Chains A and B, each alone.
Chain A
Amino acid sequence: MFDALFVMALGAIVLGAALGYAAVRFRVEGDPLVEKIDAILPQTQCGQCGFPGCKPYAQAVAKGEAEINQCPPGGEEGIHKLADLLGREFKPLSAEHGIEKPKAVALIDEQTCIGCTLCIQACPVDAIVGAAKQMHTVIAGQCTGCELCLPPCPVNCISMEPIPESVENWKWKYPVIKLVAAQEVAR
């Protein structure tokens, strides 16, 4: 009887110690779910979702404080991916947060720019170079198209230019069956 109790107690102590050690040793830093959601988000850092950046939105989604359909740059595909990840129902993009637009980059009209640096301060990814009273310009490759530089510009010299299709970024289209008129088939 006592032997059995002793064995069980010993087992409990050993396993408890092992679990306690594992909890310390293999502690997971940060929330893995937040990281997963953040990986799906497009990292535009535009704030259209109502949060100051993609990560805060990811945290809010993980906590269940935000809906999954608040990210216009991520588009429908992003919502589908979030729905799959979180096991939630797909919802169409919420209209109050904006609409899905083709990817664009900011372009500064260098003739008009007065060098106020306001856009540099607004850019979340440091994609604008320039200095006070010097012309500014956008590093197109780093621009996420968040449009956050548009409102601060006092002379409205920034415009959004959609990225044109080129031989390099052209994509094969989804194969479709061409509809042909009956007489053409007969020919």
Chain B
Amino acid sequence: MSALRQLFRFNGGVKPAYHKEASTTLPIAVAPAPTRLVIPLHQSIGGPPRPLVTTGDRVLKGQRIGGADGNVSSAVHASTSGTVLGVEMRLMPHTSGLSALCVVIEPDGRDEWMERQPFDFHAATPTATRDYLRDAGVVGLGGAVFPSHLKLNAGKQGKLDTLVLNGAECEPFITCDDALMRERADALLKGAAIMRDMLAATRVLVGIEDNKPEAIAAMEAAAARTGDDSIQVVAVPTRYPAGGAKQLIRVLTGIEVPHGERSTDHGVQCFNVGTAHAIYEAIALGQPLISRIITVAGNVGQARNYEVLFGTSMRDLIAPCAPLPDTDRIIMGGPMMGFLMPGDDVPVVKATNCVLVGSRALFPPPPPEMPCIRCGECAKACPADLQPFEMYWFSRARMFGKAQEYHLFDCIECGCCAYVCPSRIPLVDYYRFAKSEIWAREVDKEAADQARERYEFRLLREEREKQEKAAKLAAKTAAGREKAAAALAEAEKPARTPEEEAKHALIAAALERAKAQKAQVQPENTGDLSPEQQAEIAAIEARRAEIREQAKPHLRQDD
């Protein structure tokens, strides 16, 4: 099948030494059980998950320990059963050498799974399936760790033309996808079929660089076993970075995704082969993403691929590979795009495809940087069709706006430009610097816009409150005036009409009668009084009268 396909090519690219043989001589091994797991909560693009466990909790293998924070996030799970020792700040596998919130688990050695149930995605709605994958922690395993559920969206048209599976694995030293395709091709293609159904894609193209003949053969055999001719395995020419999503899409379909657009706008979606395998495990077996295959290579006695639980320390992982005594650094990823780790005591995370052990002999320090001679080699090598020298000058001069005009954010940081630069300028370092400065400014700008809005709203509110207060006061004053006016009107009212006069006379007569009745009734204890009592009463009455007399002026004042 692969021989008949017409392939396209991307511009630029380089051919570095591949160093892939050392780690493919042995099959995938299960990494030794770690004595301690440090699982970072934030392992994917998007919001950091909320911790769901606390110190002392017992967790089972596959139990959710970090819940996705919103839809643009992905859950994190316990990689084995054990006890939570703490939720604390630990050193992250990040160049900054900073710490972040991690769940520390002491494994109990029983490796006890939680209850696993396959997910029937045919019966579920697409949204429910995506939510399930989010909670299963499935993210892109090619290195960018973008939550997969967000990409498994058929888009506006409701269907896609092509699902591209990326098995190119172009970066030197890394062979984890190669090993996965050789050994687990059937499961991987089942995952691909699930993805194809979710995306309603008509065909699946698996792109594999032609320096992996074993993987291509294994995948072709597995594809033949499925009996599904919508899945095609395609060998692509070996040239770094053929494994870049846009580059692979271009090679396989000829579609060049323009600046500012997504591949789905052109009917193509691209996933790493490892992601397809993770989706198979999540949907068909009910197992969340708790481990992955990682290449340990470089300055070691025996390079090899391991199936590693997330949270395993890199030091524990490389120990069985016998790192050579002159080892002086650990790189996560490959030599072209990898990140230098702040130490070997950092955990393995979902983004770790390779733990590259380095030494001064293996990766000699770069010769001193020389001035740019404007040779244009970098532009020839750039697989994203950018002008790296222009972006370099503007990034270096901190003219970020101009750097963005040259599409800095289309740069995939593949490192081809720095690889070919005769002046040995660390170009990618400048782009990373410029990108993070631009992002920081973007964040500041957003915060400023929000502050402006809130401040203006506050001013508006204060003004409104002032007006409301004034209106209330005015209303009160008006009510007082009205009352006074009403009283005045009452006083000036004309004489009563004859009917009213008659009514008043009736009322007056009734009052008179009541008074007379009251006068007839005598209190029982007032008759038959002795002279002393009479005198006492008279004295009290006199005192009362006197007090009343005294109180009169005060009462009047009060009135």
Binding site for B on A (CB under 8 A): 38, 41-45, 53-54, 124-127, 142, 144, 165-175, 177
User: Which of B29-37, B69-77, B281-289, B432-440 participates in binding chain A?
Assistant: B432-440
Q: Closest chain A residue to B454 by CB distance?
A: A125
A166 and B98 form a contact (CB under 8 A): yes
B444 and A42 form a contact (CB under 8 A): yes
* Residue from the list A54, A125, A165 in contact with B98, Cβ < 8 A: A165
13 further A-B contacts with Cβ under 8 Å, apart from A43-B455, A173-B433, are: A43-B447, A43-B452, A44-B451, A124-B458, A125-B451, A125-B454, A166-B100, A167-B96, A167-B98, A171-B436, A172-B433, A175-B426, A177-B369
Q: Which residues of B contact A170 (CB under 8 A)?
A: 94, 96, 98, 436
Kindly name the residue among A41, A125, A167, A173 whose own CB sees the greatest number of chain B CB atoms within 10 A: A167
* Residue from the list B99, B440, B451 in contact with A43, Cβ < 8 A: B451
A167 and B94 form a contact (CB under 8 A): yes
CB distance from B180 to the nearest CB of A (A): 28
Q: How many angstroms from the CA of A105 to the CA of B455 in the assembled complex?
A: 17
* Residue from the list B48, B426, B450 in contact with A142, Cβ < 8 A: B450
B48 and A172 form a contact (CB under 8 A): no
CB distance from A27 to the nearest CB of B (A): 22
CB distance from A94 to the nearest CB of B (A): 21
A167 and B42 form a contact (CB under 8 A): yes
Kindly name the residue among B42, B432, B433, B451 whose own CB sees the greatest number of chain A CB atoms within 10 A: B451
Q: Which residues of B contact A42 (CB under 8 A)?
A: 444, 448
Kindly name the residue among A42, A44, A166 whose own CB sees the greatest number of chain B CB atoms within 10 A: A166
10 closest Cβ pairs, A-B complex: A43-B448, A175-B429, A43-B451, A171-B436, A172-B432, A125-B454, A170-B96, A43-B452, A172-B433, A172-B436
CB distance from A95 to the nearest CB of B (A): 24
Please tell me if B430 contacts chain A, counting CB pairs below 8 Å. yes
Q: List 14 A-B contacts (CB under 8 A).
A: A41-B448, A43-B451, A45-B455, A54-B452, A54-B455, A127-B454, A142-B450, A165-B98, A167-B94, A167-B98, A172-B435, A172-B436, A173-B433, A175-B426
CB distance from A79 to the nearest CB of B (A): 15
Q: How many angstroms from the CA of A78 to the CA of B447 in the assembled complex?
A: 15
A177 and B368 form a contact (CB under 8 A): yes
Q: How many angstroms from the CA of A170 to the CA of B42 in the assembled complex?
A: 14
Q: How many angstroms from the CA of A174 to the CA of B455 in the assembled complex?
A: 35
| A interface majority secondary structure | loop
Q: How many angstroms from the CA of A38 to the CA of B445 in the assembled complex?
A: 12
Mark out the residues of chain B between 33 and 79 whose CB falls within 8 Å of any chain A CB in the assembled complex: 42, 48
| B interface majority secondary structure | helix
Q: How many angstroms from the CA of A88 to the CA of B437 in the assembled complex?
A: 25
Please tell me if B449 contacts chain A, counting CB pairs below 8 Å. yes
B440 and A171 form a contact (CB under 8 A): yes
Q: Which residues of A contact B433 (CB under 8 A)?
A: 171-175
Q: How many angstroms from the CA of A53 to the CA of B429 in the assembled complex?
A: 39
* Residue from the list B95, B429, B455 in contact with A125, Cβ < 8 A: B455
Q: Which residues of A contact B435 (CB under 8 A)?
A: 172
A171-B437 in contact given A54-B452, A142-B451, A144-B451 (Cβ < 8 Å)? yes
Q: Which residues of A contact B450 (CB under 8 A)?
A: 142
Please tell me if B103 contacts chain A, counting CB pairs below 8 Å. no
A126 and B94 form a contact (CB under 8 A): no
Q: Closest chain A residue to B461 by CB distance?
A: A126
CB distance from B193 to the nearest CB of A (A): 36
CB distance from B388 to the nearest CB of A (A): 14
B429 and A172 form a contact (CB under 8 A): yes
Q: How many angstroms from the CA of A163 to the CA of B100 in the assembled complex?
A: 15
Q: Closest chain A residue to B439 by CB distance?
A: A171
B444 and A125 form a contact (CB under 8 A): no
Q: Which residues of A contact B443 (CB under 8 A)?
A: 169
CB distance from A86 to the nearest CB of B (A): 17
B458 and A126 form a contact (CB under 8 A): yes
Q: How many angstroms from the CA of A142 to the CA of B452 in the assembled complex?
A: 11
Q: Closest chain B residue to A146 by CB distance?
A: B451
Contact with A along B456-496 (1 / 0, CB 8 A): 01100000000000000000000000000000000000000
B458 and A125 form a contact (CB under 8 A): yes
B440 and A167 form a contact (CB under 8 A): no
Q: How many angstroms from the CA of A126 to the CA of B141 in the assembled complex?
A: 43
Q: Closest chain A residue to B436 by CB distance?
A: A171
CB distance from B225 to the nearest CB of A (A): 43
Q: How many angstroms from the CA of A100 to the CA of B255 in the assembled complex?
A: 49
Please tell me if B92 contacts chain A, counting CB pairs below 8 Å. yes
Q: Closest chain A residue to B430 by CB distance?
A: A175
Q: Closest chain B residue to A164 by CB distance?
A: B98
Q: Which residues of B contact A53 (CB under 8 A)?
A: 455
Q: How many angstroms from the CA of A127 to the CA of B454 in the assembled complex?
A: 9
Q: Closest chain B residue to A123 by CB distance?
A: B458
Q: Which residues of A contact B426 (CB under 8 A)?
A: 175
A167 and B458 form a contact (CB under 8 A): no
Q: Closest chain B residue to A175 by CB distance?
A: B429
A167 and B92 form a contact (CB under 8 A): yes
B449 and A43 form a contact (CB under 8 A): yes
Q: Which residues of A contact B94 (CB under 8 A)?
A: 167, 170
Q: How many angstroms from the CA of A127 to the CA of B447 in the assembled complex?
A: 13
Q: Closest chain A residue to B431 by CB distance?
A: A172
Q: How many angstroms from the CA of A75 to the CA of B75 in the assembled complex?
A: 40
Kindly name the residue among B436, B437, B444, B447 whose own CB sees the greatest number of chain A CB atoms within 10 A: B447
Q: How many angstroms from the CA of A165 to the CA of B440 in the assembled complex?
A: 12
Q: Which residues of B contact A167 (CB under 8 A)?
A: 42, 92, 94, 96, 98-100
Q: How many angstroms from the CA of A23 to the CA of B42 in the assembled complex?
A: 56
Q: Closest chain A residue to B452 by CB distance?
A: A43
Q: Closest chain B residue to A42 by CB distance?
A: B448
Q: Which residues of A contact B92 (CB under 8 A)?
A: 167
Kindly name the residue among A53, A165, A175 whose own CB sees the greatest number of chain B CB atoms within 10 A: A175
Kindly name the residue among A42, A124, A125 whose own CB sees the greatest number of chain B CB atoms within 10 A: A125
CB distance from A25 to the nearest CB of B (A): 27
Q: Which residues of B contact A144 (CB under 8 A)?
A: 447, 451
Q: How many angstroms from the CA of A173 to the CA of B429 in the assembled complex?
A: 8
B451 and A45 form a contact (CB under 8 A): yes
* Residue from the list A142, A165, A169, A171 in contact with B454, Cβ < 8 A: A142
Q: How many angstroms from the CA of A126 to the CA of B458 in the assembled complex?
A: 7
